[in-house]
Structure 1
Amino acid sequence: MGYKGQIAVVLLLFFLCDAFAQPRFKGQKVIAKHQQPAVLQYFEPRAGAQQTVTAQCTDSEVIVTISPDLLGIQKPVQPSDLSMGGCGVTSPAGAQPFVIEAPLQGCGSTVEVTVIVYTFTLDYNPSPIDGLPIVRTNPAVVQIECQYNRLHNVSSNALNPTWVPYTSTISAEDILSFSLVIMSSDWSGPSPSNTFFLGDLINLQASVDSTNHVPLRVFVDRCVATPGSNASILVWKRIAMVPLVYCRCFLDSKLTGSNSQFMSPRVAQSVMQFQLDAFRFYGLTTSSIFITCRLKVTLASANVDPLNKDCSYNSALSQWSSVDGNNAVCSCCDTSCANPPPFRRGSGAPKRRPRRASNITLKLLQFLNKLVPSFKRHDQDLWFPNAVLGL
């Protein structure tokens, strides 16, 4: 290489070094002591008036509809980033808007029993853009509530109660419905006839409606026959009163040798069937006989004892027998059966005594003017009166 070639190489190196050298500044030179990276904070703009989430509450589920522009910033969200209590989008892939169908008692819902409000939480958690560790939206949370009128029940038990259901009132106040009915001869239903002759057995059925209660057992506590309707006054005055049942013992069969009896076994714990031998009052011209019975109940699971039993007297065997078994509980029928203790009084006592017993009166009509032909003599009819009992 010649001398000129060497000069050219030196000039080239000079220019290259000058190009990559530190820049020159005119004036004072500023040296940064600390170098810090810039921090950019992104804030989502406040959503406008557009509603991007709607909810429809049915009797079994909530249907949430979500706009792809959930945040209202023209940045569509991905359906895979949406969830509600762990439940994802249920609408078909590619369908818009997005839909989440969730059962009321699922998908992380909470319920307030007092006001029947189901609460859900819709979560949006953005995922990174494919291939890049960045996101352009912030997470979002939307609260969803389903409120229901208390007159409707959204559970599997169909129920439309009133504000104070009658059955609830009956159960709360411990009110029981007792009945005493004259039955047909075969016990198939109420008697179609109101006529009974002396010597007939009158079928009677006592019962209690135990609907909305635990199983109950009914007893005939006592029965009296009187010629008037006000049994309490007539018994107090000792006027033509005939005790039929006393302390749950059928005295009529023991005192008069009649066929009166309690029917055994029971057809149901809440039913007591018994038969009364027809009769009339001697020396009275009244056409009416009233039978007043006091019915009481206990729990069907309670043991049979002298206070809770119904006993009939078997004249052929000269012994008492209990309808519910354990004839030993009838031994007091020949002496004196104890009565329940009086209702407790005082500050600690209930304000009202529960209705566990009831008095019911049946009216039996006595037709003295019904005549039955007996025989004829000298072409003259001779008639003998025959007493008839009816309801």
Structure 2
Amino acid sequence: MELTYAGLFLLLFCSAYSYQFRSGSGYGRFVQDPELEWERMEKVIGEEMPHEAPAPETKFWRSASGGSSIPEAKKVPEYVIVPASKVQKEVFKPEKGARPLPNSIKEMLLAASATTAGEAAKPKLVDILCHVDRMYVRIKREAFKTREAYKYLKLGTCPVNQGNTAYYYLLYLLKTDCGFKKENTVDYRYVSNMLHYKPPGPVLREMPFDIPLQCKFPRFFHSFKVGLYPKLQGGTVFRALQPKSSFTLTPQDASGNEITGAKTYILGQPMYFEVKQPEGTAKSGDQRMYINKCFTTASKDSSSHPKYTVIDNQGCMVDGKVTGQSKFLSGSSKMVQKFSVGSLIFKNAVSTSSSSQQLYMHCEVLLGKLSPTQSSKACNYDPATKKWKELYNDDSVCTCCESTCSSPQTKASRNIISSHSWKIDLSSEDGYTEVDPRMKSLDTDTFSLEDPDLTEHEDFLKYWEHDY
């Protein structure tokens, strides 16, 4: 029973001895065995940090006749770490061929070691380990005369956080708030701190001290090899380009909804278009959108032929004299211009083997002042009065539509924009292709304005009996 109590007492004593350093573990690195952690970091640092390696040993054969040996070659290190500020970069620049080393480089490589062979290693009372993210310090307990010396020992502002029978340990990461100071130079990165010992009380049994500690890391590692030829990797870099125009020309249905997919119209059916600026574009309250010219082609290329002009003469809906379906349409914003055009095809492009024809719309647009002029306007043809009328303002600017309207002073703001394609169905009701298609007539008894696709036929029916 007495042995059991003695074992429990010894266990409690050892726990209390190790716990005295755990109070500060929240400030640094707490490990079960600080000496094992120290040895682990020594191994890590030894593997990571470069060392000046000696040249490999070379064996020489003795002469068979005279017995004399060839003089031993001068041993030089395989490489030497040299501060960047002392490196002559031009000397190590790779180039074709060979040249002698300058004297300064010879001295650098053949420099004698500064260590003395017979110098005895002195035992260290304070050891320090430096790594890229931490600083470890250990001090021999025999350096102190008092049992609680660890209480007054600090690394900067951080206390001892580990200990055993031989050492006090201060194991801290550099991100810990211990007062680490960091400095960068051309050649090195320095991390420094101060090891303080400040025993209290009216008497002293050992002297207080402040020991400066510093970790030194080389910042650059250079490797040079004659005949090193860099290989340039080619490639293509893609960059999103700004669109050529700041406007869009969009086909729409009769309700004003954008047609995003493929669209096929029946010959003579009205088509609707909208010209506007993209969303998020800055708009001015004293400007208005104008369409100077619009034409249709069978090719995506706006300069291709044949072409059919629907808007011309700086904003005159010339196709409105042919069909009442072609007109400028008013809207809630003058920064958006809508118009409708009666669907059409190119007669010369019709063949007996084709059931449809693909077309494109191209328009020249610009921004101008709110008040229209002869060079920027939106004029519809009124078949009742046989006159031209401006969509919003004074009709006098449209009088030139029967002749030649003046062009704008500058052409820098003009933009040619194109819509995506659509198709015109050439098939008749019996399934055969008409070689010479004509406009399909409508029965006035079955005509209804409630059909949005047929609303634009109102003018056509109203003036049907008039011969123009």
Q: Is the TM value for this pair above 0.5?
A: no
Which TM bucket (shorter chain)?
Answer: 0.3 to 0.5
Tell me the TM-score normalised to structure 2 length.
Answer: 0.36
- Higher percent of residues as helix: 2
- Higher percent of residues as strand: 1
Tell me the TM-score normalised to structure 1 length.
Answer: 0.43
